[in-house]
Chain A
Amino acid sequence: MSYQEKSILGSLLAMVVVYSVYFAGTLRDIGRGDFGASSLGRLIFTVIAIIVIEIVYHIVLAIEGGVERKDERDILIECKAYRNAYLMLATGAGLVITYFIVAGLAGATRIPLTPFLAVNVMLLFMVIAELTKSLTQLFYYRRGL
């Protein structure tokens, strides 16, 4: 497995684990009817955790086998991955906007349409987009372009 693949796989696993913990906590808050304050601290902790894990992991990778610079194939694969990630993010943003407009016009919803909810749903789609990017890259590295 190349340096790029190891780097992507590590980032992917870190994101899955850290954001699973974050969204599990957020769902618990929503279940309790708590739509705000406690999740801000958790979000800050999540972002810091991701950064720390990424830094430590990439230091270990560099010590183990050295850093490999990206070449044209890596960049082409990254471009294809960004395209898929963008489609995922645009779809998510479209769904959120549509939901808020429709739910807002219809009136009552079971879950209050708060900024907290909007931020978390958008964050969820950003994470899904990032996962899509990583999975697309791993797919093209394995299958070839």
Chain B
Amino acid sequence: MARGRIQNNIRRLRFDRAEMTQQELAEKVGVTRQTVIAIEGDKYSPSLEVAFRIAHVFGVPLEQVFQYHASEGESAA
């Protein structure tokens, strides 16, 4: 799993939702606050299920929360 290739907008999305705290998001998603901090800091890529749950909490599509940046030489099918 390459670090930093999956980026996210969780910080901005929390800000847009009346400064939702990391603890609030963690409780809604069902993970610990430490995990939310790690995801936000691009230090941990969550499972697909948690990723969908985060998108569901914010009411946006998955790709609006997470973006995958392909490295050079990686081609789209």
Interface string of B20-33 (1 = CB under 8 A from A): 00000000001111
B2-34 at interface with A (beta carbon < 8 Å): 3, 30-34
B28-50 at interface with A (beta carbon < 8 Å): 30-35, 38, 41, 43-47, 50
Q: Are B3 and A144 neighbours in the complex by a CB distance under 8 Å?
A: yes
Interface size class of B (residues with CB under 8 A): 10 to 19
Q: Are A72 and B46 neighbours in the complex by a CB distance under 8 Å?
A: yes
Q: Are A68 and B43 neighbours in the complex by a CB distance under 8 Å?
A: no
Interface of B, helix, strand, loop or mixed by DSSP: loop
Q: Are A144 and B38 neighbours in the complex by a CB distance under 8 Å?
A: yes
Q: Are A71 and B32 neighbours in the complex by a CB distance under 8 Å?
A: yes
Q: Interface residues, chain A, CB within 8 Å of chain B?
A: 2, 4, 68-69, 71-74, 141, 143-145
Apart from the given pairs A71-B31, A73-B46, 6 other A-B contacts in the complex at a CB distance below 8 Å: A4-B34, A69-B32, A72-B35, A74-B32, A144-B3, A145-B45
Q: Interface residues, chain B, CB within 8 Å of chain A?
A: 1, 3, 30-35, 38, 41, 43-47, 50
